[in-house]
Amino acid sequence: MLFESGEEGVEPGIGLFKGACIRFRHQLKIPQIGWNQIKIVRRPPALADIPEGSWFYFVHSYHVAPEDESIVSTLTDYGYDFCSSVWKDNVYACQFHPEKSQKAGLAILKNFVGLVG
């Protein structure tokens, strides 16, 4: 939704970021359902004190492909490295589900609340 376009439907995104949301391009099971690790590329305030390699819960068949690599916050490997979160200015968005990701997810939610509260 934050990007210009997506393969998930016919409506355009809002275009906050240049790029698209694309379907996974490999033969692994889709949707990806379960736990996977993040590789931190850039550390936004929402990821303060989140260790490299932390595990998060994913349920998805699509991922974003940003044109501007400088907004990539984390990568995750699912057959290939895909962008699992983005960050620019005061916008942070993640592909994984922090609300289902136990301690690491709770830490992200607390960090986020601390930023806006």
| Residue spans per domain, the chain | 3-116
Q: What are the C-alpha distances in Å from 25 to residues 32, 68, 69?
A: 12, 20, 19
Structure tokens at 30: 């889709």
pLDDT tens digits for range 61-102: 999 999 999 999 999 999 999 999 999 999 999 999 999 999
Please give the Cα distance from 93 to 84 (Å, whole number): 9
Nearest partner of 85 among 27, 31, 45, judged by Cα: 45
pLDDT tens digits for range 4-60: 999 988 889 999 999 999 999 877 899 999 999 999 999 999 999 999 999 999 999
**Structure-derived torsion over alpha carbons of residues 20, 23, 28, 32, reported in degrees to the nearest 10:** 80
pTM beyond 0.85: yes
CATH number of 3-116: 3.40.50.880
